C-alpha cells in the first residue's frame, strides 16, 4: 500500500482525522481534505510526526469547481488517488415541522452531492489504475432517528449510492463499501448534547447502557474498519454496509 494515495474528506477532526492517521500508518500518502485548509494542520502534523506523508487541502465538497481543483492538486502533489473516504458531513437537526429548507438542503448537499462530486473526480484515477477503494460514511441514523429526517435521508442515500458504485466500478477492480457508525464520541456528538441541553457524560453513559459491548465508540473504532476496506485484502468485499455500532442496531 506504500505507493497508494488516499483522499479523506472531513479529515480535520473526529472520525476523518482518525481515519487519515490510520491510513497513513498503513503506508498510504494521505490528502487531508476539509472546508478550511488551516483546520487540517493538526491532522497533517500528526501524520508527518509519525513518519507518514500528508498534505492538507481546503475544499467545499459540494462545490464542483473546488472539488475538481482539489483532486487535481492532490494528484500533482502526492500522485493519483486510488483510495477515497467520503466522510465530510454536517448536522442540522430538527423535527420535521421545524426543519427549514436550508436545514434540509445543507445536509443533503454536503453528504450526497459532496460524495457524488468527490467520487466522480477520484474514480477517473482509479479506473485508469485498474484499482480502487471507496468507503462512504453512512450511519445507524440511516435506519431512522428522531430529529434527523435530513441526516437520516442522506445517510440512507449513501448506502444506495455505495451499492450502485460497486456495480458500476467493479469491472475496473474498484470496490465500494459503506461504514455506518453508531454512537461515536466526537466533537460533533458533544455539540449535539449541548444543543439538546444534556450533559455529554450523562449522554454517553446512557448510550453505553444500550450498546451490547457497554461502551460508546471511538473514532479509531471506525478507522480500523475503514483500514480493512481500503486494503488489498478486501478486494472481494464490495457493495456492503458495515455497522460499527458495538452490537446489533434497530432495524437490522
Tens of pLDDT along 85-122?
Answer: 999 999 999 999 999 999 999 999 999 999 999 999 99
- Looking at residue 184, the DSSP 8-state letter turns out to be B
pLDDT value at residue 48: 98
Collapsing DSSP states into helix, strand and coil, what is residue 252? Answer: coil
CA angle 73, 74, 75 (to 5 degrees): 90
- How far are the Cα atoms of 14, 83, 145, 184, 245 from residue 208, in angstroms, in the given order? 19, 32, 17, 10, 11
Q: How confident is the model at residue 192 (pLDDT cuts 50, 70, 90)?
A: confident
Question: Which of the residues 54, 74, 86, 151 is marked catalytic?
Answer: 151
State yes or no: pLDDT of 50 exceeds 80. Answer: yes
Three-state SS at 215: coil
3-state secondary structure of 26: coil
Q: Which residues pair with 241 in a beta bridge?
A: 178
The mean pLDDT of the chain is 96
Please confirm, yes or no, whether 151 is among the known catalytic residues. yes
Say if residue 92 is exposed, middle or buried (CB neighbours under 10 Å; 0-12, 13-18, 19+): middle
Domains observed in the chain: 5-182+218-243 (3.40.50.720), 185-216 (no CATH)
Q: Using the predicted structure, report yes or no on whether residue 251 has a pLDDT greater than 80.
A: no
Smallest Cα–Cα separation from 150: which of 184, 202, 109?
109
pLDDT at position 239 is: 98
- Asked if residue 147 has pLDDT above 70, the reply is yes
For residue 131, pLDDT beyond 60: yes
Is the per-residue pLDDT at 225 higher than 80?
yes
According to the model, what pLDDT value does residue 250 have?
54
Amino acid at each position: 500500500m506504500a505507493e497508494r494515495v488516499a483522499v479523506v474528506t472531513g479529515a480535520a477532526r473526529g472520525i476523518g482525522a482518525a481515519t487519515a492517521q490510520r491510513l497513513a500508518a498503513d503506508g498510504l500518502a494521505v490528502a487531508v481534505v476539509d472546508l478550511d485548509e488551516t483546520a487540517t494542520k493538526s491532522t497533517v502534523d500528526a501524520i508527518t510526526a509519525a513518519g507518514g506523508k500528508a498534505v492538507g487541502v481546503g475544499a467545499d465538497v459540494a462545490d464542483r469547481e473546488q472539488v475538481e481543483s482539489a483532486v487535481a492538486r492532490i494528484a500533482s502533489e502526492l500522485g493519483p488517488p486510488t483510495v477515497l473516504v467520503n466522510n465530510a458531513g454536517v448536522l442540522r437537526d430538527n423535527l420535521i415541522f421545524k426543519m427549514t429548507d436550508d436545514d434540509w438542503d445543507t445536509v443533503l448537499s454536503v453528504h450526497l452531492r459532496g460524495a457524488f462530486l468527490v467520487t466522480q473526480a477520484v474514480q477517473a484515477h482509479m479506473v485508469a489504475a485498474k484499482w480502487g477503494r471507496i468507503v462512504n460514511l453512512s450511519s445507524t441514523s440511516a435506519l431512522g432517528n428522531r430529529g434527523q429526517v435530513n441526516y437520516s435521508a442522506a445517510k440512507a442515500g449513501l448506502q444506495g449510492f455505495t451499492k450502485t458504485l460497486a456495480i458500476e466500478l467493479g469491472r475496473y477492480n474498484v470496490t465500494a463499501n459503506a461504514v455506518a457508525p453508531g454512537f461515536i464520541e466526537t466533537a460533533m456528538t458533544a455539540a449535539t448534547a449541548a444543543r439538546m441541553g444534556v450533559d455529554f457524560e450523562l449522554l454517553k453513559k446512557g448510550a453505553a447502557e444500550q450498546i451490547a459491548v457497554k461502551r460508546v465508540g471511538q473514532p479509531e473504532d471506525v478507522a480500523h474498519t475503514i483500514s480493512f476496506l481500503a486494503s488489498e485484502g478486501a478486494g472481494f468485499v464490495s457493495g456492503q454496509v458495515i455497522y460499527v455500532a458495538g452490537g446489533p442496531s434497530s432495524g437490522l
